[in-house]
Amino acid sequence: MKRHFAGLFLALAMATSAAAQEWPARQPIKVIVTLSPGSATDVLARLAFEQVSKQVGQAIVIENRPGAGQRIGAAAAARADADGYTLLVNSSTHTVFPAMFTNLSFDVVRDFVALAPLASIPTVMVVPASRDWASLADFVKDAKARPGAINYGSGGIGNSTHFAAERLRLAAGFDGAHVPFAGAPEAINEVVAGRVDFYFSPVPPALSLIRDGKLKPLTVSSARRSSVLPDVPTTVEAGYKDSGYEFWVGAFAPAKTPKPIVDRLAKELRASLESAPVREKFAAMGADPMPMSAAEFDGYVRKEVDLNIALVKRLGIKPEADTAK
């Protein structure tokens, strides 16, 4: 491994622009994905790195390591050699770990360096089609008139879908009952059936139900409107300051990865994300561009960690000991 590391570092440091098209590697690059095959995080990782593989002429293997709320995969990547051959793709849940757990085996800031955000996947607030709410303002007015009567689903305590709902609830000033589910399908089904009042769903699993009239979208939690739901306003546009919550998927490397390797990986990822095939496939699934340099993304991650710690304290959620190693 040391020989591989030295060869890769030297080749990257000395490569000219003409020679840079060939990746100087002696083994496949492994990308650890923290969720199961077929999840939005997994699909985005496969599409982005399939293009990177073509660009650098090097095999890239996706290794799914789900479990423990995405911490198993993150821990494995943190322990990997910092040689450019093991990377991590995780969702914005990456920045929630420090707020929710007291004894993590890794540190999301110190143990990783950000490469690039792959995409923002807006979460859309969906309500039963049978409800009379025509706008977010209608919903908030009704929720305030019936304190505690509203319930809302999520993919689990501390999940991005949970925090998106809580950010809006706190900003809008209404009470409600949180109903956690195992994942998006269960939560969406309960909203369709009318047993749950609202759920902040990632756009992809909700889109067909919205288009079929089985769910009603009131707002999106992202900073910008969803490209596939352009008529649905953001929570901030709807008048609720500090109510947004961004759900994203991003790529990382172990923190001690040499800068020439980090820079090359970031460059190749940017090229992949800007390529027509990847842009078109991302757009089709409701994944929007999130253009940032590696340094900007690194700063963004650090800010998100602090915001989530503050949110968990405000919600009165007690961090738990992390038993997943």
pLDDT score, position 159: 87
Domain ranges of the chain: 2-121+247-315, 123-220
pLDDT on residue 180:
92
* H or E stretch covering 99: helix 97-100
Low-confidence residues in the chain, pLDDT < 70: 1-26, 324-325
- pLDDT value at position 22? 45
* pLDDT score recorded for residue 305: 96
Q: How far apart are CA 247 and CA 234, in angstroms?
A: 13
Look at residue 20 in the predicted model and tell me its pLDDT.
41
User: Does 2-121+247-315 match 123-220 in CATH topology?
Assistant: yes
pLDDT number for residue 25:
59
Cα atoms in the Cβ-side hemisphere of radius 13 Å centred on 175: 5
Domain at 123-220, CATH class: alpha beta
Specify the CATH number of the domain 2-121+247-315: 3.40.190.150
| DSSP 8-state assignment for residue 69 | G
Q: What's the confidence (pLDDT) of residue 199? A: 97
The pLDDT value recorded for residue 67 is 87
Per-residue burial over 57-76, b = 16 or more CB atoms within 10 Å of its CB, e = otherwise? ebebeeebbbebbbbbbbbb
Q: Where is 118: in which H helix or E strand? A: strand 112-120
The alpha-helical segments, DSSP class H, found in 157-292 are 160-172, 184-192, 203-211, 259-274, 276-284
Predicted local confidence at residue 4, as pLDDT: 47
- HSE (side-chain half, CA atoms, 13 Å) at 11: 17
Residue type, 32: I
